[in-house]
Every structure is written in structure tokens, then in C-alpha cells.
Chain A
């Protein structure tokens, strides 16, 4: 009987603590709107990179090989859908199925990139990347993913996910897909197995690093605020 009343008094004390000096909170915008905020930063980065990129050469490359367009479309759509999924998963009542949202776009990205390898002729103004050029691709994707992931995780922390590992992994996919899309500005290489493998490694690295390190940042802390 004593234990029962002890537990009730602990709960009562907790309720009094949580409600004392309660401050108003600003309701979060919808996940779609919040994703748009992050994507606006990605678009701003794209515009900044476009000013230093050789746009006519990029247009020439893409118009000569339709599979490259599809791959760019796939990576861009993966970034958009993964960002929306990450913001959905950041809500405490979100269903895990949101993690599947970027899957169709990711499949398009993988298949279109793979199709490029099967082409027998080279896309115009391209060559097959050697190992040092492929390493530069890896550095670009990982390097650009770091600030994009950091911003996304900072925005996701405003919510309260109860699936921190999954949310962080999907955020990593969004950042890596956005970085891979922006890489096209400086990528005069045709699709080749080694280059694609390096891209896949870079994306996997960003997702794993996000899951391992950012998952902890997203796990809710229970201090009163």
C-alpha cells in the first residue's frame, strides 16, 4: 500500500515539476514545409556552385546520354523524398514505413547509373574517371554531405523522434543524395563501374556516419525545458 502511494506521489511530483513555470512553445510547422526549408538551402548551394561550373559543357554531357538525365533525376528525387521522410520520422508518432518513401527514387538512381555502364559509346565531352578522379568524387560527396547533414540534424532536433537511428540514417541519405546531385556540375566522367562503386561507398559512408553519430544527437533528452 505504501509503495502504491509512494509511486503516486512520485508521479504527482513529476507532474508538478513539469507543469511549474511552463513556458509557451512554438508549434512545429508541417514536415513538408520544414523539408522545403532544408531543400531551399540545397538549392542555394546549387545556384552558388552553378556560378563556377561550366554549364554549357554540363548541358552537352547530359543531352548526349539520356541515362545521365535519369540518374540526376533519381538522385535529386531521392534527396527530396529522403528529406521529407526524415522530417516525418522526427515526429514521435511517425510510422517506420516513412523510411520507404525515398526507395523508388533511389532505385531509379541506381538503375539509371547502372544503365550508363552498359552503354558502349562514351557520353559527349566525358572520359572514364581514373582512381584519383574517383577519389575526388568521394571527397566531394562526403565533404558536402557534412554541412548538409549538420544542418538537417539541427533542424530535426527541434522535433522529438523516438526512432533516432533510422531518422539519422534517412537524413544521411538525403544529404548524400543532394551532394551526389550537386557533384554533376563538376563531373565530366562517363558512368563506369569504379566511379559508381566510389559513389556508392561515399553514400554508404555518409549514411553509416549519420546513423552512428547523429542518432545520439537525435535521441530525446529528458531535461525539463
Chain B
């Protein structure tokens, strides 16, 4: 079977899965999204997304497909539709990365060898103790509060992304983060 025929069969299958997903078929939708991942990665790589950001590109595109699924017309090629979305999201991701690079300098050697004028050997021990305290305080939080801190603070996701990943409402995430930070402050601050 020629490559073109295989691509065409795969495209027909994806179009059928998407039409079923539009009708509410979760199983077809799951198969479709899994099937999309290699195509999204290939488009993102072609657009110059570095290897360590490919998974961010995949997540962006999966979320966009989900948000835009009502706009897909099953009479048209699904692969072409998804590839344009993947290209646009890859370009957005590259722009975001470039903006981040303009603001931040990546210089690990300079960072490591930079002499800290205020350095005090005793402080190092204090820092280690403090970070240990934070880690243990974090571990002692209720699951929902810990989840909010992990997604919104440690992994620096947006509220929208965190809400999609955790399946909690944005309001619930905000409340849990607020409570978590309050609890952490109580546990970590000296004298409290």
C-alpha cells in the first residue's frame, strides 16, 4: 500500500473519530487524541520547537482541539485541520519562549561561579533547613491544597491549564491555593 493511501486511510479514520467525538463518544475521542500526538510532535519539530518544549506544544494543541472541536467540519480533512492548529500553537509557543529568553539570561556557569557578597556559611545551613521545612510543610497539606500549590506555584501553570488538568474549577483552585499559602506561612514563619 502506498504512503499516500495509508495517509488517506488514517485521515478518514481521524475524521470519523472526530465526528463521533462531536456526538459525545468519549472512547473515539480518546483514540483520536492519542493518535494525534505523533503528528503534533512532527509539526512542532518542523516549526523549530526544541525537544524539551515538545510536550508543552502537544498539551497546547490537545487543549485547542478540545476547545475548537465544534468548528470542525467532517467533510474536510481532519489531519489538515489539526496540522494548521499545531503550526499556529507551535509558533505561539516559540514566541512565548523567545519573550522569556529576552527577559531571562541562561548562564549556568556565571550563576554557579557568581560570588555572593552577603554569603555567610551559617546562612547555607539555615536555607537548607528552611527548604526542608517548606518541603515537609507542603507534604503535610491536604491533597487538594497541595495539588493547587504544585500546579500553580511549583509548575507555574496558568489557572486555565491547571483547571483542565485537575478537573477542578478555577475558583476551587484559587481558594485551595490561598488556604495552602496561609497554612504554609503559619508552619514556616519563625515564631508562628
Residues of A within 8 A of B (CB): 7, 10-11, 13-28, 30, 90-93, 158-160, 162, 220-225
Contact = CB atoms under 8 A, between A and B. Distances in A.
Contact of B163 (A19, A162, A223): A223
B22 A92 contact: no
B64 A11 contact: no
Interface of B: 21-27, 29-30, 33-34, 37, 55, 58-59, 62-64, 66-73, 80-81, 84-85, 88-89, 92, 158, 160-161, 163-167, 170
Given A11-B37, A20-B26, A27-B72, 14 more contacts: A10-B55, A11-B58, A15-B34, A27-B22, A27-B73, A90-B71, A92-B85, A92-B88, A220-B68, A221-B67, A222-B64, A222-B160, A224-B66, A224-B163
Nearest to B85: A92
Given A222-B67, A223-B163, A22 B21 contact: yes
B87 to A, nearest CB: 9
Contact of B165 (A17, A19, A20, A225): A17
Given A11-B58, A11-B62, A92-B88, A223 B29 contact: no
Task: Decide if the interface of chain B is mainly helix, strand, loop or mixed.
Answer: helix
A13 to B, nearest CB: 7
Contacts of B23: 24
Given A20-B26, A22-B21, A27-B22, A160 B67 contact: yes
Contacts of B166: 17
19 contacts: A11-B62, A14-B164, A14-B165, A18-B66, A19-B29, A23-B24, A28-B70, A90-B71, A92-B85, A159-B70, A159-B71, A160-B64, A160-B70, A162-B85, A162-B89, A222-B64, A222-B66, A223-B163, A224-B167
A212 B160 CA distance: 22
Contacts of B165: 10, 13-14, 17
Given A19-B29, A221-B160, A222-B164, A162 B66 contact: no
B62 to A, nearest CB: 6
Contact of B24 (A14, A24, A93, A159): A24
A14 B157 CA distance: 14
A19 to B, nearest CB: 4
A37 to B, nearest CB: 16
